[in-house]
Homo-oligomer: A and B are copies of this chain.
């Protein structure tokens, strides 16, 4: 589960240049191709690397508005609310969080006006008691993983 320095370098290299192949990676890292291949296989079966799916930008798709909504759920309705939210395409992510069975979800919309429609879709369900929304103005730090990977590699395998 813990990763060593070489694993870390592989992940970082892959994150920086996703198009790179195993052979080129082995050249850059100065190890044998088989080693890189074995490490990659292990990282994937470990679940550390879930996959290499395309990273799609909702803004470029025509959904430039992002918002986070905190939902308060009626007791016992969690599963129903969850199923309901799963049907909303603009709902990209859903977490249940501490604090009285609340949920936090990430929404996108075509415009601020369209966000109203999305929110109505989301909260227009019986089990949801209250919702409060925060609209994202700027994504100051996009989802990143490299610093954490480097940290994890160093923890396991100090310089």
B-contacting residues of A (Cβ < 8 Å)?
Answer: 1-3, 11, 14-15, 18-19, 46-63, 66, 68, 70, 82, 85-86, 88-99, 102-106, 108, 134-145, 147-152, 155
Q: How many copies does the complex hold?
A: 2
Please, which residues of chain B bring their CB within 8 A of the CB of A2? 61-62
Interface of A, helix, strand, loop or mixed by DSSP = mixed
Contact of A55 among B19, B51, B56 (CB under 8 A): B51
Known: A93-B141, A93-B143, A93-B144. A152 touches B62 (CB 8 A): yes
Please, which residues of chain B bring their CB within 8 A of the CB of A103? 140
Please, which residues of chain B bring their CB within 8 A of the CB of A62? 1-2, 152, 155
* Closest B residue to A144 using CB positions: B92
B138 touches A95 (CB 8 A): yes
Q: How far is the CB of A21 from chain B (nearest CB, A)?
A: 12
Please, which residues of chain B bring their CB within 8 A of the CB of A99? 134
A134 touches B102 (CB 8 A): yes
Please, which residues of chain B bring their CB within 8 A of the CB of A140? 82, 85, 94-96, 103
